[in-house]
A and B are shown apart, each in its own frame.
Chain A
């Protein structure tokens, strides 16, 4: 089981911010696989999982964005009713709290991944190692 990486970008909640970030990724031919926005009074954090994580992180940093690279776990779900439930049931039984989550749909109506950031990635992975779960391998998304 390997970790995947999420890129987080700090942004003020103003028109054009998401555009600026995605423009950089577009020009570098980087594909966004999953993304989420959390916003609270005036500012927010945009999170991406992309095919070339390290490259995207370095690029955004170089362009002056406030950015961080965070570890995450990708867990396979069936893209059908109950798919998310089956996965989070196991997470909660292990006492793993999700700090942020997004979804990567690998094959529509078949296979998707729940991408979660948790408090302690290594510990969570250890706790989940014996469970009947399939994890996203970073090589699959490159």
Chain B
């Protein structure tokens, strides 16, 4: 549904081992006749060498790691459009914003498709984007989907945001009935331009349990990410640190390329970040500008929120 076909070469940079993500994609791709390079995450230079040596056309990777790999390519002077054969990537395992998708697409010169799944439902492939990239089709012949209010457990009206609840329809031996995913999304009931009749969900907006509360306001890390990725001069990595219930500190790495030695510009950028986060979340954050490479690099699921509050 995204154009992958026999002859493609998939570099699978998800963790193999006790994580279904890598395996489902691996076996699925083999079934289509796609060569799979079981790269696993990490060792970024080797990842790039593999892409070059094998002529990798597709990646399966987490968003945070994709951003990191793309920035390493930039540092090493590799132009993916010329030096590599990448066409598309499948991103999953972490929620991320539309801005991040566009940023990675632009950095790597590829199409990126969202993929959704969870170990309890056999891993990725519960939902997948088609070429229109406007939500993920859920395979409704395999899964019964509902969206409920996470607090009451009651279904919400179609189209409203809530927690996705899934029931397996074809699984034998261990069917799961009304499994609460903790993933927040909403159903898009309108028919898709691609002609598939399976209904879609929006990208995962967050987890009903990774939301945090500051000054009594519910905030999802994706809201912050969306703001950061829209600001020029901000590098890929960021972290939200919570030390009290009244403050949040957003740590942001600056982009090496925009640094021109002028402190005014940095101050303006910092003010812009504060103002945009305030208008998106209603909470005025503290912002720290960091040197690139200061924050820990993610090679799997990124840890974006550091909650140091004890009560």
Residues of A participating in the B interface, judged by any CB pair closer than 8 Å? 6, 8, 10-12, 38, 40, 42-45, 47, 64-70, 99-100, 117
Contacts and interface: CB of A to CB of B under 8 A. Distances in A.
B72 to A, nearest CB: 12
Contacts of B53: none
Contacts of B292: 64, 66
A101 to B, nearest CB: 13
Interface of A is mostly: strand
A70 B289 CA distance: 21
B261 A40 contact: no
A47 to B, nearest CB: 7
Contacts, number: 49
B254 A66 contact: yes
B290 interface: yes
Interface residues of B, number: 17
Contacts of A45: 261-263, 266
Given A10-B266, A12-B294, A66-B254, A43 B260 contact: no
A99 B254 contact: no
A64 B289 CA distance: 16
Interface in B259-295: 259-264, 266-267, 288-294
A13 to B, nearest CB: 10
B171 interface: no
| Closest 4 pairs (CB-CB, A-B) | A8-B261, A68-B261, A70-B261, A43-B289
Contacts of A64: 292-293
B256 interface: yes
**Which of A10, A64, A65, A117 has the largest count of B CB atoms less than 10 A from its CB?**
A10
